Structures are given as C-alpha cells and as structure tokens.
A and B are shown apart, each in its own frame.
Chain A
Amino acid sequence: MNIQLQKNDGLTTATLDETRLDASVAPEFKAAMEDIILSGNNQLILDISKLSFMDSSSLGAMVAVLKQIGGTGKMVIIGASGAVLELFKLTRMDRIFTLTSDIETAKQYF
C-alpha cells in the first residue's frame, strides 16, 4: 500500500498513491492508516485523488479509520471524484466524512 506522508504546521497529509481500493487490499489500507494514526498523526488530510475505483469494503476500512481518529482528532478527505465520490453519496457516507475538492479548503476544517 503506497501512502506518502507530508507534515506541515501540525497537519499530516496522507496521499494514497493507488488507483484502486478493493476488498483484496482494504485490510492492508486499514492497517497502514492505523499505523499512521498511532504514530501521532490524528490531524489528517487523506488525499484520494488518484483513486479511480473503490468498493464498499474499502469504504468500510475508511469508516474504521475515522472511528480510530475519534473525537480528539480529525480527518478530511480530498479528491474524491467520479465513481469514488458516487460511492460516498450512494451510501450517504458523504454526510459522515468531510469531503473537499482541494487541500486549501481542507485546511480550513482544522
């Protein structure tokens, strides 16, 4: 699982360098994100702009990550588009996650 981390002003941007998230890699994604959070990165921007496909098991992994961040941390997702954004909307998870189109807008949530 390729996730690039960049830290700036107390914010961590995790860029998912994958084009597809599905059931075969969802557990790996979840574990990688849990490691990132446990390393002290709980003010998190997750950039998924490279994703062109994501299934519901991967969405479940993202929900687990959101739960792990909990009330003291925050995660904003940027770059969901096309079929990926539609998955969030169809499951109504667009009302649960904070979704933005760009990093500057995302920063305003912290």
Chain B
Amino acid sequence: MCKLNINSDFSEVRLGSDLLQEFCAKHDINVTTQGHLELILVEALNNVVEHAYKENPEGEILIELEKAESKTVMKITDSGIAAPGTVLIEGSDLPNENMLPEGGWGLCLIQALTDKIEYFRYPDHNTLVLTKELAA
C-alpha cells in the first residue's frame, strides 16, 4: 500500500498525483488507466480541499492507494465537514455559450470513471473509497 498525508491546499494535490504515478509504475498499470486514476484522485482531493475544508490549508488529508487482485482502491480520509449529496449531470442540449458552467464537473467525472464509490462518515472524519477495476 502507498500512503501519503497532504495539507488541504490545491498546491499539495499534485503530491497525490506523484504518489499515484509511483504506484502505477510499481504495479505496471497502463497509461490510459493511470490517466483515469489521476483524474479521479485529483477531482476527489480538490473536492475535499474546496468543500470539506473550505480551502482552509491547515486540514489534513490521508491518501491510501492499494492494488487488490484486479482492482485499484483509493482511500481519501479527511477531518472536514460531511459531503453533501452527490449530483449527476444529465441532459444533451448544448447550452448557450454565455451560460456554460465553469465548474461542477468533479463529481460527474469521478462517477463516470469509477466502478464503485463508497463514502463513510465517522464522528470525526470522512473516508471516501474509490474502486476501479483494472482491465485484464
């Protein structure tokens, strides 16, 4: 298992990416899957920084990466506020350019790229468990 503690600061999120790259190299995970895992991890960490800690850089985030049989499990633990309900973005109409969203894709991307999402709220911390099956 690979573990890393980072502060809840956007500039530290890339340390999580560095850890993931080491993890993927160690487990011989292909470039496409690595790209998906990095996007999932970064979006999830961004959400913790932005929403759980409200961009307070003193918060701590624990990242744990584990390969179990044919899947990768990424655990993210923080002591911030609880996550709100998830939102799925649906619809097919193209919006007017001036009405285009400039954010809010994070959860949608995590849902699109992750096979299993589990969220555990404990009295003093949150743990998000993101599982992705690896192609044979």
Q: Which residues does A use to contact B, with CB under 8 Å?
A: 20, 22-24, 53, 55-57, 59-61, 63-64, 66-67, 82-83, 86-87, 90-91, 95-96
Contact = CB atoms under 8 A, between A and B. Distances in A.
A90 B97 contact: no
B111 to A, nearest CB: 10
Contacts of B17: 20, 53
A56 B106 contact: yes
Given A22-B10, A24-B13, A83-B36, A56 B98 contact: no
A106 B109 CA distance: 28
B31 A82 contact: yes
Contact of B100 (A61, A63, A86, A90): A63
B135 interface: no
Determine chain A's interface SS by DSSP, over half rule. helix
Nearest to A59: B105
Interface stretch (B37-45, B66-74, B80-88, B121-129): B37-45
Interface in B26-48: 31-32, 35-36, 38-39, 42-43, 46
Determine chain B's interface SS by DSSP, over half rule. helix
A63 B109 contact: no
28 contacts: A20-B17, A22-B42, A22-B46, A24-B9, A24-B11, A24-B13, A53-B39, A53-B42, A55-B42, A55-B43, A57-B103, A60-B102, A60-B103, A60-B105, A63-B101, A63-B102, A66-B97, A67-B98, A82-B31, A83-B35, A83-B39, A87-B39, A87-B109, A90-B108, A90-B112, A91-B108, A95-B94, A96-B97
A83 B35 CA distance: 5
Interface in B92-122: 94, 97-98, 100-103, 105-106, 108-109, 112-113
B35 A82 contact: yes
B75 interface: no
